[in-house]
Homo-oligomer: A and B are copies of this chain.
Amino acid sequence: MKRARVTLADVAAMARVDRAVVSRVVNKDPTLNIRQETRERVLAAIEELGYRPNVAARSLRTSRAHMFGLFIPDFANPVYAEIIKGAESEAAAQGYVLVTGSATGAGLGEYMDRIGQGRIDGLLLAGTGEDADLAAQLDQAAIPWLMLNNRSQGVKRYVILDDQRAAALAVEHLVRLGHRRIAHLAGPSRADTAARRSAGYSAAMRDAGLPEGPITAAGYTPAGGAAAMARLLAEAPEGERPTAVFVANVASAIGAMEGVRAAGLEIPRDVSIVAVHDLDLAGYLNPALTTVRMPLAELGRRGVRLLGGLDPDATVAEVLTGPIELIHRRSTAPPPD
């Protein structure tokens, strides 16, 4: 059954009122004074015909798309999955649709081209901080935008998590267990989150009166983590091998664990491992991975909430204070004697 598209006019005709009335009923206009009986006729017609407002027309008229954009580097990264979930649910609560796009095979520029003009009312950027002229690119669009989870050089439009504290929590956990030679497997050198976690590591080591252990950088991937851990262990002089490693990211930690095993060492007997970001999966690794849980979904929610009432050239610099929590599992234990 091929039902033709039904418009306001159809509903108006059936209810024997003007389109304007139908429109105001649909939008629950509070200034509308209408007889109960008439309203019911309208509602009945809407129901009967299965009328749904046309988004394009509405959007053209009101110049609001009721849609937010979210740009991420890669859907395969579970960290973004959490952010998306939070952003999506908050958007839904506001009656907005969230359209998430990834950099898969294209950059932000191409994404903006495809999105076009007038399709979204605001844009969230997660994990896209490297481009220096990011702001310039985005000012073209004349829509509110916000960086999520990381910042870009000289741009005051972001909401981030307290990565420094997360790192400190991890290091303090290791210190409490008795570790003194604590290495750091950092994130990619250009990533803002990586820098903040490294800063947290350094500060916590200083606070504990411990010298910084070796530091190696790697991408936020298992492969990167494995390679970096191999380097880290190979370069340490015998007897001065770190007894614990703070890994900047859970994905690289998974690789790092393999790196430890490849070196013929055992976790946590020889080396303890703790990483930032908790995943369901972490509890099922062998051994189960100790992590620091971050409020990623809350970050997504907060981003959308800010975007809603944001001036296109407002300045936002927020560190989200949410529950950051160490999840102690089997990959951390006291050091060998």
Contacts and interface: CB of A to CB of B under 8 A. Distances in A.
Interface of A: 1-3, 5, 50, 52-57, 59-60, 63, 65-67, 75-76, 78, 80-82, 84-85, 88-89, 92, 95-102, 104-106, 110, 114-119, 139-140, 142, 221-223, 226, 254-255, 257-258, 261, 280-281, 283-286, 312-313
Contact of A105 (B52, B92, B110, B119): B92
How many identical chains are in the complex?
Answer: 2
Contact of A55 (B5, B54, B116, B226): B116
Contacts of A82: 76
B286 A139 contact: no
A329 to B, nearest CB: 12
A44 B105 CA distance: 29
Given A85-B104, A95-B114, 6 more contacts: A50-B140, A52-B117, A54-B116, A55-B116, A92-B105, A254-B281
B92 A114 contact: yes
B78 A313 contact: no
Contact of A283 (B57, B96, B222): B222
For A105, A281, A284, A313, the residue with the greatest tally of chain B CB atoms inside 10 Å of its CB is A284
A118 B222 contact: no
B99 A280 contact: no
A101 B97 contact: yes
A283 B222 CA distance: 9
A277 to B, nearest CB: 12
A280 B220 CA distance: 13
A170 B258 CA distance: 25
A3 B142 contact: yes
A284 B313 contact: no
A212 to B, nearest CB: 27
B60 A57 contact: yes
Contact of A284 (B95, B105, B257): B257
29 contacts: A1-B139, A2-B312, A54-B116, A55-B56, A55-B117, A55-B118, A56-B56, A56-B63, A56-B119, A75-B80, A76-B78, A76-B82, A76-B280, A85-B102, A85-B104, A88-B104, A89-B105, A92-B106, A92-B114, A97-B114, A97-B119, A98-B101, A100-B100, A222-B280, A222-B283, A255-B284, A257-B284, A257-B286, A286-B286
